[in-house]
Amino acid sequence: MADGPGFRTAIYCAGCLHHCKGCHNPQSWDMAGGHPVSVEDLLADIKSDEFSNVTFSGGDPFYQVEAFTNLARRIKEETTKTIWCWTGFTYEEILADKRLSMLLPYLDVLVDGPFILEQRDTTLLFRGSPNQRIIYLTPKEDDEIPGAVPLMPLR
Ligand code: SF4
């Protein structure tokens, strides 16, 4: 319930090279720190809860962008669930990189940018510092989230 609005199945991946000072989850930085799980198994877990939507977090899912794109594509093909994704990259950095941007068409909301300790604000919803944006990539998520950036057209 903390990883976006409502009930969500959250996938926490291993690996983050952003190394933000004050990161809430530094134990996730090690790129080899997790254990391999197949897209098929993750999809089965996600589909087993018919009410929950989906969150990708970590770590940074964009360091495993091919696998998360496969998973996100399957979620969109086989369910009506929405997907929120957290990343330390900015939306602009992702858009400028063909490989990273392959995941964007399957996401409903991107929460972007590194955590900046000096700007920490505990009143913000779903993010730690105000540089991080809640960016709606599809009109599917219509909950009113204070501070959210209105739809940013991608396609
Ligand atoms: S991007 Fe997120 S997980 Fe990665 S170091 Fe920054 S706060 Fe931590």
Distance 15 CA to ligand 1 centre (A): 9
Distance 126 CA to ligand 1 centre (A): 13
Judge whether residue 154 has pLDDT over 80: no
Superfamily for the 8-136 domain: Aldolase class I (3.20.20.70)
Burial 132-155 (b: 16+ CB within 10 A, else e): bbbbbbeeebeeebeebeeeeeee
Distance 138 CA to ligand 1 centre (A): 24
Phi and psi for 80 in degrees, rounded to 5? -105, 15
Contact criterion met (CB below 8 Å) for 113 and 133: yes
127 Cβ below 6 A of ligand 1: no
Domain ranges of the chain: 8-136
Contact criterion met (CB below 8 Å) for 103 and 52: no
Contact criterion met (CB below 8 Å) for 28 and 60: no
Each residue's pLDDT tens digit, 101-124: 999 999 999 999 999 999 999 999
Contact criterion met (CB below 8 Å) for 94 and 104: yes
Dihedral, 123, 22, 4, 76 alpha carbons, nearest 10: 150
Residue of 152, 139, 70 lying closest to 56 (CA atoms): 70
Each residue's pLDDT tens digit, 30-50: 999 999 999 999 999 999 999
Residue 141 confidence (pLDDT): 62
The bridge status of strand 133-136 relative to strand 109-112 is antiparallel
Q: Which atom of ligand 1 is nearest to the CA of 115?
A: 7
Distance CA 80, CA 99 (A): 25
Among protein residues, the one whose CA lies closest to atom 7 of ligand 1:
23
Each residue's pLDDT tens digit, 65-108: 999 999 999 999 999 999 999 999 999 999 999 999 999 999 99
Q: What is the pTM of this model?
A: 0.93
